[in-house]
Structure 1
């Protein structure tokens, strides 16, 4: 319940406050252009990295390896691109962290641990 409260109430409120600050500092039109630019760049980077992840998964499967690492990258790239396409500066920072390989590699162990916990609690089933 707390997660939903943060997701639907607190995060949008912070984003609105950041929009107001950016509008005051930069102006309305540059702020609007910045929002559009981050969305377009997010889509382009996610598409490029998603294609790379797809090829890595296919290569791992062709060599008889489990593509676990590549699949985690794919999840991170998908959500990173999605967050960058959403309007908001806070979501842009989170999305960029998931798309930049250095920061993504720091976050993947947390994602793996969370997915493992979900699997053990039978919330998701990994076969």
Structure 2
């Protein structure tokens, strides 16, 4: 509820300063520029991801950056100057990298605390007997 109200207030302020047609034109140009930037950066991230996969590496940072670029695209296509400003900030690589690395760190720490179990031995899908029993024991 707060974002649409804020967007409307900013659009009205810009409209009073620049005029209605100039404001509408600026919103259209802003959306077109955002779409072009999202496409350009998204294709670059796809290329980097493919290269890392070819080298046998997991493209984790490229995937999280791609999600941020996708989110930036959604913000840029939403009419309004505030969402466009946030979307543009997500398209600036240093800001995006700072945000995505922070989110990845937080996500990793939550996963490790939620799924770690000191009472159980680690599971090895290659060795079905690991963990103290064998598949034959389950049949009995």
TM-score normalised by structure 2 residue count: 0.74
Q: Is the 8 A contact 1:42 1:82 kept in 2?
A: no
Q: For 1:82, which of 74, 83, 101 is the aligned residue?
A: 74
Q: How far apart are the structure 2 equivalents of 1:114 and 1:86? A: 28
Confirm or deny that 1:98 pairs with 2:99.
no
Q: Is the 8 A contact 1:83 1:94 kept in 2?
A: yes
Q: Which runs of 4+ in 1 moved over 6 A?
A: none
Query: Gaps spanning 5+ residues in structure 1: where?
Result: 1-8, 123-127
Q: How far apart are the structure 2 equivalents of 1:35 and 1:118? A: 39
The answer for the alignment partner of 2:100 in structure 1 is: 108
Q: Which has the larger radius of gyration?
A: 2
Q: For 2:14, which of 18, 22, 40 is the aligned residue?
A: 22
TM-score normalised by structure 1 residue count: 0.82
Equivalent pairs counted in the alignment come to 114
Q: CA deviation at 1:68?
A: 0.3
Q: Is the 8 A contact 1:42 1:84 kept in 2?
A: yes
The answer for the alignment partner of 1:63 in structure 2 is: 55
Q: How far apart are the structure 2 equivalents of 1:78 and 1:89? A: 18
Q: CA deviation at 1:108?
A: 1.4
Deviations 1:47-78 (A, max 9, x none): 01100000111111000001001111111111
Q: For 2:43, which of 38, 48, 51 is the aligned residue?
A: 51
Residue 79 of structure 2: SS of its match in structure 1?
coil
RMSD over aligned Cα atoms: 1.8
Distance verdict in 2 for CA 1:15–1:75, change over 3 Å: same
Distance verdict in 2 for CA 1:114–1:28, change over 3 Å: farther
